[in-house]
């Protein structure tokens, strides 16, 4: 099993965070924006592109906020993520030209049904990944 890198965007505006809204057999869940690549520069550039593709938002790179090691066999998705081992880098991003910054997402994920601005205090009320 190889270890892969994954970058994730944390986009906060005021007291809300922007997340993708997804649906599977278990219902609706929300998820942070993510992309898998190899180097920090590639991660940032790919994540900027991913934000446009998945949520229709242009973003600027911010600070590295958190690093998480994900070993699939130890999590709730072990039935299909058993062989996944990745290091996840969470970056804080800010919106570019916030007022006129929406475009229709060009390439949403297969389970994605929308995007949601979720109040930070309400996050625990949702089925959210990663926990």
Backbone angles phi, psi at 118, to 5 degrees: -110, 130
Cβ atoms of residues 70 and 85 within 8 Å: yes
* Pairwise pLDDT comparison (94 vs 38), residue with the higher score: 94
Q: How many CB atoms lie within 10 A of CB 86?
A: 18
How does the average pLDDT of the chain come out, rounded? Answer: 78
pLDDT greater than 70 at residue 39:
no
Q: 44-81 burial by CB neighbour count: b if 16+ within 10 A, else e?
A: bebbbebbebbbebbbebeeeeeeeebebeeeeeeeeb
The pLDDT, as a whole number, for residue 54 is: 77
Q: Tell me the average pLDDT across 26-31.
A: 72
Owner of token pair 């892969």: 4
Fold annotation for 3-129: Nucleoside Triphosphate Pyrophosphohydrolase (3.90.79)
pLDDT greater than 80 at residue 69:
yes
How much of the chain, in percent, has pLDDT values that exceed 90? 4
Q: How many CB atoms lie within 10 A of CB 92?
A: 16
The pLDDT, as a whole number, for residue 119 is: 93
Query: Where are the chain's structural domains?
Result: 3-129
């Amino acid at each position: 099993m190889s270890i892969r890198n994954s970058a994730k965007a944390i986009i906060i505006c005021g007291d809300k965070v922007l997340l993708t809204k997804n649906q599977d057999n278990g219902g609706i869940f929300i998820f942070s924006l993510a992309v898998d690549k190899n180097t920090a520069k590639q991660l940032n550039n790919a994540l900027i592109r991913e934000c446009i593709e998945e949520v229709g938002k242009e973003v600027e790179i911010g600070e590295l906020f958190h690093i998480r090691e994900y070993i699939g066999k130890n999590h709730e998705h072990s039935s299909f993520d058993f062989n996944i081992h990745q290091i996840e880098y969470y970056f804080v991003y800010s919106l570019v030209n916030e007022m006129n910054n929406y475009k229709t997402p060009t390439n949403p994920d297969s389970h994605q049904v929308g995007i949601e601005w979720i109040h930070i205090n309400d996050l625990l009320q949702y089925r959210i990944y990663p926990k």
